[in-house]
Structure 1
């Protein structure tokens, strides 16, 4: 009898680890045994921040392998990290699988790899193990990875992944327009880094998507219908939210400050502006001050997450008198239990960088957005929010590249008064959350995927949103 043991490997960033760990815990509840493989650095951070380790299923074990970064090298250099992982991790992953298969009665029969870890496809092929790719971003982002050759053929990008023309592109007339300068491999920084990212993510991701037996995605057909029609190989199994299953979310790199929930309990219904910019956004001192002064100017209660490292190498300085002026009207924490916060009745709106996890959490709780994207797919996500779903407003920068305090005040007031956006957010919430109910699209896709893993069939699971299979 075939075993039901899967190896799950996320990209070493919090926005990738969290949704894949949520998915992994769902796999265990459906009878799969999971070995979850982080890099050593991510593994240490996740374990240190996880206060309820006993919540981990008996069917799931967490292990770590090195990413190849030397102690004197900068792990925040994404180009270097990507190149190092591509060089060092395949042998380590193969060694791990061999050791598991020697000592464990249930051998690894499927690898579920993050879409940014495309090099894993070569390990899977070499070892004769089936491969599934997991996309922690939108299906539209996965579609970009699946369209790299077309982008090259159409001369949208050159052989280094560099955009050829300064123009927006659409993979389909009903999909959102995208700026090639904001593709993952093109938006990090210098040309050398971008080339490393294109080789390690764009090209390898394309190969992985092509050879994968299945692609699963933290999205729903309700959010991106055209993308799932155009790319039926992608199975939506989202939203992957721990509170759907009444369990604690795992995978954070920082400790959550639950005191903010107690503070929210003391606020009036639908009164609080929740401000959080994810795990990678960095503000300079001037922008940080303008944000603080904008929150002061709106004269409403706010909960603001100021993450360690949000300013890069130094701590930010708050404007003179800011802390005294806001008093108990504002609450500032280093990290928040975001799903719990967004589900709280006192939260009126979400000022966000629009990372896909935050987008899914806001949508799933019916919260309107103030969109402040930082890089990569966040601009695409903001386009979905503002132009497609119409559940939020964008914050605009001035001629110097700053979102001013006046802009913040103006957009908050516009959003608070806009009943149409609020209703759109509630309607979308109902449709999205219905998809994970028993018998509906995302729920069926997840069950079909697990059944496919268990049965060990060569063909991929059916996609409940189209006539095609993956």
Structure 2
């Protein structure tokens, strides 16, 4: 089947969970499919749509004849904070589940609107974030449209989710003592069945397990995600060489087809993304980027700079911020540090005057930055990270070692894999101390151990490049996914592809 004919009438509706870490990879996937000939309708929450316009520019989401943006309400009251401000993930989960009926009605009205006579094909496939339930309801009850699920989490996190029921049934969870953070309970190694999880401690499982309540609503939410995904096609933002052990174990949990199409940022960069229509330039950052830091990086020596960033949702106390600050300062290495305006819980970040004097001329602070460009800059020597999945894939694609301080959600298993399986990093204690930050930075940038981490990081970069190149595993899986959609389109809708 010729590619142009195969994709001519295909239309994908892409619906990410409305948080930065979910929007970014879904938009990258949408761009890839658009470059392959798909018509795209991309959904953002109304709040995030406004945030994106604020950070990217008033015409940044105008789209193109083959790529349009649509919005749905997230059910939360209008924010009275600055418009360039993400929503709380916990509030979003509660609101989206509570208002699911209203939301899928809104989605439905938009999805049935396109008219082939106007040049917009009918929807061929819904690509829904696995965290969302309402697109599945809409697909089932109203438009009888095929649906596949996309997860922005790592496969290792998804596999860990599938074990929560067993851990609850066996009594390993929930924790019996409220002091589990300090009494050694997190260091217990449970008897986990999947071979790829052997050796994991409870601290290495997604942070959702950290509770003393067996009826914690998060467990129910996770169980619904696993049930939702168990028999449906699912897309992972990874590549086979990186996660082959986990994917083998997942094949015992998921009976539907699995597509590995990552790293999506590399795949989208490698494909022609309709630059004449401006699609490749559409950004996904809700926060406004400071690109001036790239000029400063140009003035630094290769592999010398510490890049420190903890993602779009991580928060900490001011005491923890100060520990990181003095760890960076005492390392004596130049650094670029992203400190979001809302990174401190309930207050503004306050750094000591002595710190500012100590690092003057060798450290810069920004509120947000173009991370992919930063990580691929030759001056970056190590990434001090929260271990978010998008960030981890970006650093793997750039061949940069990591120092991990996992915060929540899937950060914990990703940190474990980075440090103990992939061999690209060092892990910080939960209760961060400046001496350990300094020690890890010096180990990575000055010692033989750091050279080994860099060598391993470059090996993974080479494998990521292979996966997203012509005939690479991720490129082939994108084509396999397109063939799957085309076959459904042909059989279910009686259309000629």
Contact 2:124 2:489 in 1 (8 A): no
> C-alpha separation between the residues in 1 aligned to 2:354 and 2:22?
38
Relative to structure 1, the CA distance from residue 395 to residue 185 in structure 2 (aligned partners, 3 Å threshold; closer, same or farther) is closer
Q: Does 1:175 align with 2:197?
A: yes
After superposition, residues 101-116 of structure 1 pair within 5 angstroms as: 101-105=112-116, 106-116=121-131
Query: Per-residue deviation at 1:70?
Result: 3.0
Query: Per-residue deviation at 1:378?
Result: 0.8
After superposition, residues 28-427 of structure 1 pair within 5 angstroms as: 28-51=34-57, 53=60, 56-71=63-78, 78-105=89-116, 106-127=121-142, 128-146=144-162, 167-168=189-190, 170-175=192-197, 177=200, 179=202, 182-183=205-206, 185-187=208-210, 195-199=216-220, 201-212=221-232, 214-232=233-251, 233-241=257-265, 242-245=268-271, 247-248=280-281, 250-397=283-430, 401=431, 403-416=432-445, 417=447, 418-427=450-459
Contact 1:97 1:108 in 2 (8 A): no
Query: Per-residue deviation at 1:143?
Result: 2.6
Question: Can you give the 5+ residue segments of structure 2 that lack an aligned partner in the other structure?
Answer: 1-5, 175-179, 252-256, 273-279, 493-497
Relative to structure 1, the CA distance from residue 309 to residue 155 in structure 2 (aligned partners, 3 Å threshold; closer, same or farther) is same
> C-alpha separation between the residues in 2 aligned to 1:85 and 1:286?
34
> C-alpha separation between the residues in 1 aligned to 2:99 and 2:353?
48
Query: Per-residue deviation at 1:179?
Result: 2.8
Query: Per-residue deviation at 1:438?
Result: 1.2
Contact 1:82 1:197 in 2 (8 A): no
Query: Per-residue deviation at 1:96?
Result: 2.9
3-state DSSP of counterpart to 1:112: strand
Query: Per-residue deviation at 1:191?
Result: 5.2
Relative to structure 1, the CA distance from residue 99 to residue 395 in structure 2 (aligned partners, 3 Å threshold; closer, same or farther) is closer
- 16-25 or 415-424: which moved more? 415-424
3-state DSSP of counterpart to 1:363: helix
TM-score computed with the length of structure 2 as normaliser: 0.82
3-state DSSP of counterpart to 2:102: helix
After superposition, residues 21-32 of structure 1 pair within 5 angstroms as: 21-32=27-38
Relative to structure 1, the CA distance from residue 237 to residue 180 in structure 2 (aligned partners, 3 Å threshold; closer, same or farther) is same
> C-alpha separation between the residues in 1 aligned to 2:451 and 2:208?
38
> C-alpha separation between the residues in 2 aligned to 1:50 and 1:407?
37
Relative to structure 1, the CA distance from residue 43 to residue 139 in structure 2 (aligned partners, 3 Å threshold; closer, same or farther) is same
- 118-127 or 373-382: which moved more? 118-127
- 240-249 or 329-338: which moved more? 240-249
- 268-277 or 50-59: which moved more? 50-59
Q: Matched residue pairs, number? A: 449
> C-alpha separation between the residues in 2 aligned to 1:123 and 1:440?
35
Contact 1:309 1:315 in 2 (8 A): yes
Query: Per-residue deviation at 1:79?
Result: 4.0
Tell me what 1:468 maps to.
Answer: none
Relative to structure 1, the CA distance from residue 180 to residue 312 in structure 2 (aligned partners, 3 Å threshold; closer, same or farther) is closer
- Provide the aligned C-alpha RMSD in A: 3.1
Query: Per-residue deviation at 1:266?
Result: 0.6
Partner deviation per Cα, 1:211-257 (whole Å, 9 max, x = no partner):
42x10010111111112223343221000115445844621110110
Contact 1:170 1:178 in 2 (8 A): no
